[in-house]
Chain A
């Protein structure tokens, strides 16, 4: 299997611009997670989906952040408008129902907002 695929790997944008991060989970996985990693805050869970349905979005920092999962093989995380404090590495991960605690992570999208 190809693993979790994220794009873009790197993005540099200016404050106020819209940013869209994309994720393709491992085929057959039921759960999809979006995490953000920074030095100060570590790995923060932003939102997760079960069978394409958002289950918990309590980690989404503000209304500027939104996530969708239109089908089992694709998810997006959108930031509009972006701010410098959004600069971080955004990871997508997927897991199988019944495989507690075992997440498969993508390589991450490194976002820099100037």
Chain B
């Protein structure tokens, strides 16, 4: 079976940097994705790591260590609009395959 662990809640202040960690146990791992969800709306894709290392997209970066079954999402220069739920998700199966989500981390950004 699969399991993904991420913190349930994180709080940070505007302008700060926050890191959301994700550890996973799965069979047939292909990569780790991150999604953002505001107020129960449609989850939106943020990033994907198929190889070890850091991927940067603007204020957001994502990291993967396959040997440690660990990844994180780094959010810099936090803004109020970043308050949302963040999900890590594991891809199983090549060429698009199956995506299994963690329970989500609720990020609250305070002024």
**Is B95 in the interface zone, CB < 8 Å from A?**
yes
Asked whether, in the complex, the Cβ of B42 is within 8 Å of the Cβ of A105, the reply is yes
Bound Cα distance A89, B39 (Å):
12
Bound Cα distance A97, B96 (Å):
5
Mask for A76-103, Cβ within 8 A of B = 1, else 0?
A: 0000000000000101000111111111
Mask for A2-42, Cβ within 8 A of B = 1, else 0?
A: 00100000000000000000000000001101010100001
Partner pick for B98 among A42, A48, A91, A98, CB 8 A cutoff: A48
Bound Cα distance A37, B43 (Å):
11
Asked whether, in the complex, the Cβ of A42 is within 8 Å of the Cβ of B104, the reply is yes
Bound Cα distance A43, B104 (Å):
9
Bound Cα distance A35, B33 (Å):
16
**Is A50 in the interface zone, CB < 8 Å from B?**
yes
- Listed in ascending order, the chain A residues whose CB lies under 8 Å from chain B are 4, 30-31, 33, 35, 37, 42-43, 45, 48, 50, 55-56, 89, 91, 95-108
- Listed in ascending order, the chain B residues whose CB lies under 8 Å from chain A are 30-33, 35, 40-45, 48, 50, 87, 89, 91, 94-104
